[in-house]
Structure 1
Amino acid sequence: MTKRVLVLTLIVVALLGLVYYSKWTPKPAVVSGYIESDEIRLGSRVGGRVARVLVVEGQTVKQGTVLVELEPFDLLERESQRVFSLAAREAEFKRFSAGFRDQEKAQAQARIDQLQARLDLLTEGPRTEEIEAARGRLSMARVQHKLAQQTSDRLTRLVRENAASKQEIDNANESLDAASSNVVVRQQELNLLLAGTRKEELQEATARVEEARQAWQLMQQGYRSEEIEQAKAARDSAQAALDALRQQKQELSIRSPIDGIVEALDLQPGDMVASGAPVLSMLDKNNLWVRAYVPQNRIGMKVGQQVRVTVDSYPSEPFSGTITFIARQAEFTPSNVQTLEERSKQVYRIKVSIEDQRDYLRPGMMADVWLDSMGDGE
């Protein structure tokens, strides 16, 4: 009987001790959440038909890795066209910048000299020798006319005496008419030489000389600055169009912008993808964080403070975490939040970034954030 009482007494004392310990011993300040990562949705600004898919879901890739390639369609031909257009615009800009060649300037100067010589010739009028030569040709024409007249008169008498034929007199009359016309022509030539150059001819020749001189001065000064700027703008526009097309060409290869994990990918060669539409998603493995909810009585924390984070996969290897976000407004406890202080019905959302240099952690893992290990951040 005594032993039974003693045993019951010990049991009661043990229970009371446990109650006292559980009441006065503080519970560990820990909240739980899931490890998350930034999700990046990748696509192409040009779209088109899928040529190759080079990765699979769950694959870890490095930054710059080509994930999906699209068919170029007509981009290559359009690129060649714009390359040639740029070359033409560049050559035109260089031509305007260089100005006129020396040979072109010399040709313009020779044109001035030629027209000036013509003007001087018209201004001076005919030479004395030309006038004397014209008088000589007129005198010769008159002598020929006189001889033709005499021959015609003689044959006319002979025809009356039946000593010459009708054909002979006809030939003589034709020679007389030709000689008369020649006298008129030679007289007009002499008159023109004696009258000198017409006023209108001098004005025309003067205008031609001035036109040639102005053209030569334009060549000396080169092209206008506005023309050079216009050629430069056309060259730059062609360059910009080529650069834009090459940017589109680069969009044919969808590359990873980060070191990450391919999360969702449902593409096959031959599939059509729209421009600007996401075709796959990735998780940033270098930017892991825990979303957790802290009760009101544990809100005494600051952004930048250090905490300890543990996961079930590595219970003996804690990770260093930094509080990077604390919500300013409380919310009711979400149904998926696990906390040892269930009496608090309103909580504050926090974000804890994790350092994982050993590449142990994965998005989706359950993680515990130990608030009692907080320290001031630097």
Structure 2
Amino acid sequence: MKTFIALTLIAALGGTSAGLWFHFFPRSHELRLPGTVESQEVRLSSRVGGRVSKVYVDDGAVLEAGAKIIDLEMPELDAQRAQLVAQKNAAEANVAKLVEGPRKQEIAAAKAAVDASKARLDLMNAGFRPEETEQVAGDLAAARADLANARVDMDRERNLLNQKATSQQNFDAAVAKYGRLSGQVSALDAKHRMYSKGYRDQEKAEAEAELARLQANLDLLYAGTRDEDKDEARAQVAQLDGKLAELDVMRAERTVFAPEKCVVQTVSVRPGDIAAPNRPVALVLRADDLWVKAYISEIQMGLIKVGQKVEVTMDTFPNKRFSGEVIYIAPQSEFTPRNVQTVDERRHQVFGVKVRVADPQGVFKAGMAADVWLKK
């Protein structure tokens, strides 16, 4: 048993030593470039802003695309949308009304108004009937006869009053009767002249104008709604549709989602906070956008090119190599301590290299040390 344990420990130590040797001592046909794991940061925010109602994640959480991060309260946007929906419904009803045109009842009412106005104008042009004129003439003659009798009575009462044969009261009554009948005669005389001449030209012109107005209104109803009015009403509906679409885009900003698979680095708000528009509320790292930033000497630049397949190792898994691809080579050198004056000093010029790493297990973390291996 002790022998077995000893052999196991020796095997383990041998494997570890081999792994460390493999990791820290490159093969003769490979070039080792030390580097650091980096990730693209994304600052998530809402274009509208509002009061934070709920936070769904904590720092360090791994999120899939579309996962909720925070919710914001925006009641004013809901109220605006309700108003726009009501306006759109009214505009659509107006379009339906214009397309349908006037109702039969409206046309019938307008036609009846035209007929009544035309009948009135015909009556005015024809004047009063002879029977009406004769009746007024008869009333005038009777009134004049009554007036003559009233004058005789008034004169008699005046003579009797002078002779002290009647009272002042009787005389006053006779005078009042004469005055009343005189007024009636004047009124009937004016009425008789009016009936004899007929309606005035101004009254006929007014009736003709009213008939023309009502006929024009009826013609409009028969013609229906103009195409321009229909197009204008439809344009108003389209405008409201656009405003609703714009508002819905703003309302969608009430929830901040993960744009892709990512790791939450920091959530900077809590429920009750006011999130300002376009101000970051969370900082995340793109999980599928990991790369290793390494440096290669100028004299070794011929060994590397964009699109080249390489291998990457890390201290956590020294025995495992991960696939990578060179995606960027810096156009300018870095870390040049002074002007290069000799051939030997050229090795001190280095160029930054980015190597994208395939990491389906999610073992790479930003800031880790890693090595890039190139074939010579």
* Bucket of the pairwise TM-score, normalised by the shorter protein: 0.7 to 0.9
Q: Which amino acid aligns with 2:302?
A: I
Whether the 8 Å CA contact 1:299–1:348 is kept in 2: the answer is no
Question: Which residue in the other structure is 2:246 paired with?
Answer: 244
1:41 Cα deviation (Å)?
0.6
Q: Does 1:305 align with 2:294?
A: no
Q: Does 1:60 align with 2:66?
A: no
The 3 A distance-change label for structure 1 pair 201 and 267 is: closer
Q: Which amino acid aligns with 2:111?
A: Q
Q: Tell me whether 353-362 or 184-193 shows the greater mean CA deviation.
A: 353-362
Q: Deviations over 1:98-120 (max 9, x none)?
A: 44433333332222222212211
Question: Which residue in the other structure is 1:372 paired with?
Answer: 375
Q: Which amino acid aligns with 1:43?
A: S
Normalised TM-score (structure 1): 0.78
Whether the 8 Å CA contact 2:303–2:374 is kept in 1: the answer is no
Map 1:142-157 → 2, pairs under 5 A: 142-152=144-154, 155=157
Q: Deviations over 1:344-374 (max 9, x none)?
A: 222333322222233333333333222219x
Q: Does 1:355 align with 2:354?
A: no
Q: Deviations over 1:247-278 (max 9, x none)?
A: 33332322211111001233333334332111
Whether the 8 Å CA contact 1:36–1:288 is kept in 2: the answer is yes
Secondary structure of 1:177 counterpart: helix
Question: Which residue in the other structure is 1:18 paired with?
Answer: none
Q: Which residue, out of 296, 316, 330, partners 1:327?
A: 330
Question: Which residue in the other structure is 1:198 paired with?
Answer: 200
Q: Which residue, out of 39, 42, 56, partners 2:41?
A: 39
1:152 Cα deviation (Å)?
4.0
1:157 Cα deviation (Å)?
6.0
The 3 A distance-change label for structure 1 pair 29 and 343 is: farther
Map 1:114-263 → 2, pairs under 5 A: 114-152=116-154, 155=157, 164-263=166-265
Question: Which residue in the other structure is 1:29 paired with?
Answer: 31
Q: Which amino acid aligns with 2:276?
A: A
Question: Which residue in the other structure is 1:10 paired with?
Answer: none
1:190 Cα deviation (Å)?
1.6
1:60 Cα deviation (Å)?
0.7
Q: Which amino acid aligns with 1:191?
A: R
Q: Does 1:292 align with 2:306?
A: no
Q: Deviations over 1:123-167 (max 9, x none)?
A: 111112212222222222233234434444555566567665443
1:92 Cα deviation (Å)?
4.3
Q: Which amino acid aligns with 2:34?
A: S
Structure 2 residue runs without a partner (length 5+)? 1-26, 338-344
Q: Which amino acid aligns with 1:101?
A: R
Q: Tell me whether 178-187 or 277-286 shows the greater mean CA deviation.
A: 178-187
Give RMSD over aligned pairs. Answer: 3.1
The 3 A distance-change label for structure 1 pair 333 and 306 is: farther
Structure 2 CA distance for aligned equivalents of residues 117 and 343 of structure 1: 113
Structure 2 CA distance for aligned equivalents of residues 76 and 217 of structure 1: 45
Whether the 8 Å CA contact 1:311–1:368 is kept in 2: the answer is yes
Q: Which residue, out of 102, 109, 112, partners 2:111?
A: 109
Structure 2 CA distance for aligned equivalents of residues 214 and 359 of structure 1: 81
Count of paired positions = 342
Structure 1 CA distance for aligned equivalents of residues 309 and 30 of structure 2: 17
Structure 2 CA distance for aligned equivalents of residues 247 and 287 of structure 1: 28
The 3 A distance-change label for structure 1 pair 271 and 158 is: closer
Structure 1 CA distance for aligned equivalents of residues 85 and 279 of structure 2: 30
The 3 A distance-change label for structure 1 pair 176 and 326 is: same
Q: Which amino acid aligns with 1:308?
A: E
Secondary structure of 2:30 counterpart: coil
Q: Tell me whether 253-262 or 299-308 shows the greater mean CA deviation.
A: 299-308
1:93 Cα deviation (Å)?
4.6
Question: Which residue in the other structure is 2:271 paired with?
Answer: 269
The 3 A distance-change label for structure 1 pair 125 and 269 is: same
Structure 2 CA distance for aligned equivalents of residues 299 and 326 of structure 1: 12
Aligned-residue sequence identity (percent) comes to 35
Q: Tell me whether 228-237 or 321-330 shows the greater mean CA deviation.
A: 228-237
Q: Tell me whether 80-89 or 210-219 shows the greater mean CA deviation.
A: 80-89
1:182 Cα deviation (Å)?
2.1
Q: Which amino acid aligns with 2:353?
A: I
Structure 1 CA distance for aligned equivalents of residues 236 and 62 of structure 2: 46
Whether the 8 Å CA contact 2:29–2:375 is kept in 1: the answer is no
Whether the 8 Å CA contact 1:50–1:272 is kept in 2: the answer is yes
Whether the 8 Å CA contact 1:285–1:362 is kept in 2: the answer is no
Whether the 8 Å CA contact 2:36–2:368 is kept in 1: the answer is yes
Q: Which amino acid aligns with 2:327?
A: T
Structure 1 CA distance for aligned equivalents of residues 96 and 230 of structure 2: 9
Structure 1 CA distance for aligned equivalents of residues 114 and 75 of structure 2: 57
Q: Which amino acid aligns with 2:317?
A: Y
Question: Which residue in the other structure is 1:314 paired with?
Answer: 317
Q: Tell me whether 197-206 or 262-271 shows the greater mean CA deviation.
A: 262-271
Question: Which residue in the other structure is 1:51 paired with?
Answer: 53
